[in-house]
């Protein structure tokens, strides 16, 4: 009888609980439940309570009521007197807001928390009517769930496959929220725009910092190549801020995985996008944008962190506009167009890239207008279908940048390439040290492109260090308008495994220092053969050079020595004595070029026109 009476008393409040599920106010009115039980059941009646068969709809409630047995007993014993506490449970209030029962953990210094709050730390889409069976449209129920958890700063636990066909919008009065798919949750969508719009309000909450956590979740787009999975946006400066924390999120077929617009201080870890293969420049795993000073009310996206993330097809990471202080570590892009790219209307700065591998057919790293870019321990691979203007590392207008301890691998022949180099550094003075390239880049006609192409500007004298780099089985080094550059110990392996450093024609700045590989006797450029000694030695392969030695004044060649050893002088050649080998032309029409001359024991011969010789007899004096 005791069991039947207790179950009957619980029936009414349990029914009320089931009917309120799905509202945004208090979906679990445990205060009402506890008050009714306390008023109708003596404390002694709970000592043998059996709830093994009690059910709420199709769900058993035995575990919930068993956990509250002592707490309900404490309420029943309270009567109309003051608050009671047994050390773990307190009956501080009979108010209808759910604070009737409070509980704390076993730790002696733990604080009391309302039992209602503990039950509602996490809700599910199913609590708001979603089926999450992979076929039913769950859009409305999912929006209700997100609105509830965002307004109360709670969590949403997703299990099953929820179908969402319309954009889910975070409410303007959001406190923050946590979305978890740790129960095996998947969202399937066909939304062409944003799946989630997570924006700060345009007015009010000027000091609010809204934190949104999303983790252990999968998102699948049924309309491949369209939509943005998660769009974080702060539309108005000073109207609070939003901060994203994401981990273990897998996104398939979306055009953009995660977008951060005017958002700072976010952490994205293990964000993977697959098959985001939209337009070459439009599909990205992570897209970060800042509205800079050139735009009204602009502000940067600053100090965002991306770690352990990557893409399969499509593109990797894009930084657009006013973006500062981005940290990227351990990013991977496979079968991509671009690995990491920047395009700044307003100059960005302070980009750090570490321990990253990019496999791309347009560019591994395409960095523009981003001062103080640092890359260390990164690598790039050229795909077989590379663009004619492919570059492994391309830096343009990036003052104060550095590439160190990095590798370009597998960059084999690409017959369609028109004009490229593996390291393409333009107007980006900086520190380029200890990098390694393996493999040729060449056209089908056999043209070999430089391993390094460094283009400076005559307008600036910022120093550049180019040292201890290796180009194996590839092109050489070309430097144009370098400003002030110190280049030393740079090796390249040509047909004879020689080492050299080659500069293009328009080198006019005086502060160029090159020592090639130091060794041997005297000052040595290149590798000195064993047994050779020289006060000044130049040892290099000149197969692809117009001249082995060239001395210029401004743009005028004063002296040159061609690969065959023939010298050319701009001015007159003066010497106290000349020595020549005596030879005799075979006839007055022997092959010759105007201006050549020779001698034998009887005559002095001069070629006065093509293949026409004149002579004059020699005499004693």
The full set of domain ranges for the chain reads 2-119, 122-507, 580-621
Write out the two tokens for 593: 């070029």
Give the model confidence (pLDDT) of 365-388 as tens digits: 999 888 899 999 999 987 766 666
Architecture of domain 122-507: 3 Solenoid (2.160)
The rounded distance, in Å, linking the Cα atoms of 87 and 105 is 10
User: How many Cα neighbours within 13 Å face the side chain of 289?
Assistant: 15
pLDDT value at residue 335: 86
Rounded distance between C-alpha atoms, residue 327 and residue 118, angstroms: 37
C-alpha span between 14 and 28 (Å, rounded): 10
What pLDDT does residue 606 have?
96
Is the pLDDT confidence value at 615 over 50? Answer: yes
For residue 6, the model assigns a pLDDT of 40
The number of angstroms, rounded, from the C-alpha of 241 to the middle of its chain's C-alpha atoms is 23
Cα gap 272→252, rounded to integer Å: 8
Q: Number of helices (H) and strands (E) in the chain: give both, helices first.
A: 5, 53
Summarised one tens digit per residue, pLDDT across range 150-178 is 998 899 999 999 999 999 999 888 889 99
Does residue 512 surpass a pLDDT of 60?
A: no
- 45 φ/ψ angles, rounded to the nearest 5 degrees: -70, -15
CA separation for the pair 377, 434 (Å, rounded): 10
Range scoring the smallest mean pLDDT among 240-249, 289-298, 414-423, 433-442: 414-423
Statement: residue 98 has pLDDT above 80: no
Tens-digit pLDDT profile for residues 250-262: 999 999 999 999 8
Query: For residue 515, how many C-alpha atoms fall within 13 Å in the half-sphere facing its CB?
Result: 12
Choose among 283, 344, 287, 268: nearest CA to 315: 283
Q: Where residue 497 falls among pLDDT bands split at 50, 70, 90?
A: very low
Helix axes 2-20, 30-40, angle to 10 degrees: 160
- Give the least confident one: 130-139, 233-242, 546-555: 233-242
* Phi, psi (degrees; rounded to nearest 5) at 459: -80, -10
């Amino acid at each position: 009888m005791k069991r039947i009476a207790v179950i009957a008393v619980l029936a009414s409040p349990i029914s009320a609980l089931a009917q309120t599920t799905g509202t945004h106010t208090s979906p679990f009115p445990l205060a009402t439940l506890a008050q009714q039980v306390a008023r109708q059941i003596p404390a002694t009646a709970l000592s043998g309570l059996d709830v093994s068969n009690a059910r709420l709809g199709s769900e058993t409630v035995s575990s919930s009521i068993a956990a509250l047995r002592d707490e309900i007993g404490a309420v029943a014993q309270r009567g109309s007197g003051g608050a009671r506490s047994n050390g773990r449970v307190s009956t501080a209030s009979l108010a209808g807001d759910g604070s009737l029962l409070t509980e704390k953990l076993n730790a002696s210094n733990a604080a009391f928390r309302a039992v209602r709050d503990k039950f509602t730390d996490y809700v599910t889409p199913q609590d708001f009517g979603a089926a999450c069976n992979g076929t039913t449209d769950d859009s409305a129920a999912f929006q209700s769930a997100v609105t509830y958890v965002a307004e109360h700063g709670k969590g949403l636990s997703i299990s099953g496959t929820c179908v969402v066909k319309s954009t889910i919008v975070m409410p303007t009065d959001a406190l923050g929220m946590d979305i978890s798919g740790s129960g095996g949750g998947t969202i399937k969508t066909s939304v062409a725009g944003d799946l989630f719009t997570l924006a700060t309000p345009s007015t009010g909450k000027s000091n609010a910092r809204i934190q949104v956590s999303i983790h252990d979740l999968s998102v699948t787009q049924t309309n491949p190549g369209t939509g943005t999975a998660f769009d974080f946006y702060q539309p108005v400066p000073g109207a609070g801020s939003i901060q994203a924390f994401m981990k273990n999120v897998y996104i398939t077929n979306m055009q953009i995985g995660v977008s951060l617009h005017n958002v700072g201080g976010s952490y994205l870890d293990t964000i993977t996008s697959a098959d985001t293969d939209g337009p070459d420049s439009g599909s990205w795993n992570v897209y970060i944008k800042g509205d800079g000073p050139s735009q009204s009310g602009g502000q940067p996206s600053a100090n965002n962190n991306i770690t352990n993330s990557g893409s399969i097809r499509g593109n990797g990471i894009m930084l657009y506009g006013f973006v500062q202080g981005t940290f990227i570590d351990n990013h991977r892009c496979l079968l991509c167009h671009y690995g990491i790219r920047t395009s700044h209307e307003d100059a960005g700065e302070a980009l750090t890239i570490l321990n990253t591998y990019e496999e791309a057919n347009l560019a591994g790293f395409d960095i523009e207008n981003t001062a103080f870019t640092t890359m260390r321990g990164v690598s790039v691979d050229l795909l077989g279908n590379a663009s004619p203007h492919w570059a492994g590392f391309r830096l343009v207008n990036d003052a104060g940048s550095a590439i160190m301890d990095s590798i370009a691998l597998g960059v084999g022949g690409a017959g369609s390439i028109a004009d490229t180099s593996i390291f393409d550094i333009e107007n980006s003075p900086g520190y380029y040290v200890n990098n390694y390239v393996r493999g040729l880049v060449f056209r089908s006609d056999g043209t070999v492109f430089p391993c390094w192409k460094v283009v400076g500007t005559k307008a600036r004298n910022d120093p550049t260090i180019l040292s201890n780099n290796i180009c194996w089985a590839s092109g050489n080094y070309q430097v144009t308008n370098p400003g002030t550059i110190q280049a030393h110990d740079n090796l390249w392996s040509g047909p004879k495994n020689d080492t050299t450093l080659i500069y293009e024609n328009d080198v006019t700045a005086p502060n160029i220092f090159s020592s090639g590989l130091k060794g041997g006797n005297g000052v040595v450029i290149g590798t000195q053969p064993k047994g050779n000694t020289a006060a000044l030695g130049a040892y290099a392969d000149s197969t692809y050079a117009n001249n082995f030695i060239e001395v210029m004044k401004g743009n005028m060649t004063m002296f040159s020595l061609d690969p065959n050893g023939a010298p050319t002088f701009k001015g007159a050649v003066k010497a106290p004595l000349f020595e020549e080998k005596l030879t005799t032309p075979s006839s007055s029409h022997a092959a010759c070029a105007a201006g050549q001359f020779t001698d034998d024991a009887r005559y002095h011969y001069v070629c006065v026109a093509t293949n026409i010789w004149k002579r004059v007899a020699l005499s004693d004096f």
